[in-house]
Structure 1
Amino acid sequence: MHSELVDIPFDGRGIRVEVQWLRPERAERPLVVFLHEGLGSISLWRDYPAALCEAGDFRGLVLSRYGYGRSTPRPAEEKWGVDFMHRQAREALPALFDALGIGPGRSRGMPWLFGHSDGGSIALLYAASFPQAVDGITVLAPHIMVEDVSVTSIQATRETYLRTDLRDKLARHHDDVDSAFWGWNDIWLDPAFRAFDLRPLLPQLRCPVLAVQGEDDEYGTMAQIEGIHRYAPQTVLLKLARCGHSPHRDQPGPLTEAAVRFITAHTSYLK
């Protein structure tokens, strides 16, 4: 499918963000915005966004964050801080939505966020920071805190990147694969990143939340989504057996069924 580049301001300069629209002609239907994982991009979602939007008769917007896919690469000397996901949620995503006419009273309407891993954390941050600007969120394997299992698996991914063909495989999906990989890997393995903790912000969530975790997730435990429910009791939990860190790849059928039902049930004009 065709993607395009959108110019937005970020960090005192202009950057370009790669976006792809799905079923834009369905103007009256819910708009689902897909936020990818720490090494993801538009192309790494593969056909899942299109399949979900087809199943629910939704519109879709898929994007590659700054540093990923065909978006502006991160300069090699630029080191991300503990707040890199906060900045994506509070600066880059609002700027993109403003450029595209998404939000309260805007031409393309209110978004539903659908985030995976780091993208799930960004969805939580956006919804907590702008509670009136989102209809609801679905988060897959989100991080609300740093667990030992996450750090151990990310260390292993570093070795895989250095010693196997993982770099070549990822290079098919990113204009600057080293920008994408090291921006993510370096900050996650920085001891300072242990301070990352979204729990104090979660009570600010006002929208419906569907939180999904695989029982075999190698990057996080059920404590992540159970923590969301503890601080935001409106959260619905979906725990998937025979599922690792990527529910949309490991259990696409049950995930799609649950997400379509959830979005439809919480969209007032569809009832």
Structure 2
Amino acid sequence: MSTIPEGFLTAAGHQLEYRWHGPAPKEAPTLVFLHEGLGCRDLWKDVPADLSARLGMGALVYSRPGYGGSSGITLPRSTDYLTPEALEVLPAVLDATGVERAVLIGHSDGGSIALIAAGRGEDPRIRAIVTEAAHVFVEDITLAGIREARTAWETTNLREKLARWHGANTDTAFHGWNDTWLTDAYAAWTIKDVLAGVTVPALIIQGEGDQYGTEAQVDAIVNGVSGPVEKLMVPDCGHVPHFEQRRRVLDAITAFVDALTP
């Protein structure tokens, strides 16, 4: 792992921006942050640094291809676009950074990627996962929220706001997420079949007022995985628990990860 705290790494043929906090991989386990469908490295803000300091672990944050300052992609995406992120890009990122013991922390699309990686990746470096607002199937509420985002893109300054974080990738980041979820084919998308392969400890978090999914997503995960699992439904909270109910959520993640190691 480079001693440079942020910059670019090469993984699966892409140049990906990254940031590192805390101890190097040889010194401690690493928290690996996987962002949501409109997210990137910088949109995690200070959450990775906070959890790194609380736990005495390293924290790796990166932007996937087509997001933030990472290299671009060509649209359209396939309906299974999360699978190569979990089984090709993520392992290559761990290789490039020298991560040996990883706790995946994934939000929304990132949570689904964490489940796929743990359920199908057979990667011994993945020791546990935390998901926030992960999806394992498509709900009507999800599609309604995505349609609302499309309306906001077309009628408000949403593009301008996203451009602050994604720069030249702004249009690709939005349409690669929004257009894909609104295709007819995506209505049948599911990753329920990967859940039985998740044998590592898992903490599954969702806001009770999540505008993109219901508690049925959490229950499907909790009932489907094979390893130890904890469920946390967060009151007075929407789609972004680590910001909307920061103390409660970060305390829960800290307690969960603390319990994994002596």
Q: What TM-score does the superposition give when structure 1 sets the normalisation length? A: 0.91
Distance 1:142 1:29, change over 3 A: same
Matches of 1:138 and 1:94 in 2, distance apart? 17
**Paired residues, what number?**
256
Matches of 1:240 and 1:126 in 2, distance apart? 25
1:120 is matched with 111
How do residues 68-107 of structure 1 correspond to structure 2 at under 5 angstroms?
A: 68-75=67-74, 78-102=75-99
> Offset at 1:25?
4.8
Letter in 2 for 1:99: A
RMSD between aligned alpha carbons? 1.5
> Offset at 1:27?
4.7
1:7 is matched with 10
1:185 is matched with 178
SS for the counterpart of 1:178 is: helix
Matched, 1:224 2:183: no
Matches of 1:66 and 1:26 in 2, distance apart? 23
Alpha carbons 2:25, 2:98 under 8 Å: kept: no
Alpha carbons 1:21, 1:62 under 8 Å: kept: yes
Deviations 1:112-162 (A, max 9, x none): 000000000000000111343311000000001010000000000011011
Letter in 2 for 1:38: G
Counterpart selection for 2:128 from 116, 132, 136: 136
> Offset at 1:191?
1.1
Q: What TM-score does the superposition give when structure 2 sets the normalisation length? A: 0.94
Alpha carbons 1:73, 1:180 under 8 Å: kept: no
Distance 1:169 1:2, change over 3 A: farther
How do residues 102-251 of structure 1 correspond to structure 2 at under 5 angstroms?
A: 102=99, 109-131=100-122, 132-175=124-167, 176-232=169-225, 234-251=228-245
The alignment-based identity, stated in percent, is 39
Alpha carbons 2:102, 2:126 under 8 Å: kept: yes
2:50 is matched with 51
Which stretches in structure 1 are left out of the alignment for 5+ residues? 103-108
Deviations 1:64-83 (A, max 9, x none): 001000001223xx211111
